[in-house]
Amino acid sequence: MPNLRECSDSLLSVTTIADLSVEDETTLYIVPVDKTCILTKALLKVDGDVGNTADVSIGQNGAETDFIPSTDLDIANAASDVILLAPIPSATPTIARKEYTSGEYIKFDVINAGNAVAATCYLFGIVDDE
């Protein structure tokens, strides 16, 4: 019988993003050995006003945009604001990425710096056997 935590949409990681004013990458998750992962969403809780210039993305190391492309955070203007980061469905869906495989790094990338505030990223997905 499969492990329920592995075969259902669940919290994969909770990661502190130290400073949204620094254009940098932060590892959110590493797909375990002999597993695959399908990401479903991320929640980003900010510690203050991120400003109107902060853009971020999430994805596989090297691409960092194959799950969440460049996304503007200017709506987050107060401590404890939470932003849902998820692929946007459309009438004609496209498949940019089916799943991440064993050993792949999932990264959070600050593409354009905002204000000097920290954030916490909650990453969700489904993990299964290869």
Q: Mind listing the pLDDT tens digit for each residue in 93-105?
A: 666 567 899 999 9
Write phi, then psi, for 39 (nearest 5 degrees): -80, 145
Q: What confidence score (pLDDT) does residue 67 get?
A: 87
Cα angle for residues 28, 52, 23 (degrees, 5° grid):
40
pTM: 0.89
How many whole angstroms separate alpha carbon 62 and alpha carbon 43? 22
The token pair at 37 is 């992962």
Tally of CA atoms within 13 A in the half-sphere of 40 that contains its CB: 11
Q: What is the pLDDT of residues 14-37, one digit of tens each?
A: 999 999 999 999 999 999 999 999
Q: What confidence score (pLDDT) does residue 36 get?
A: 93
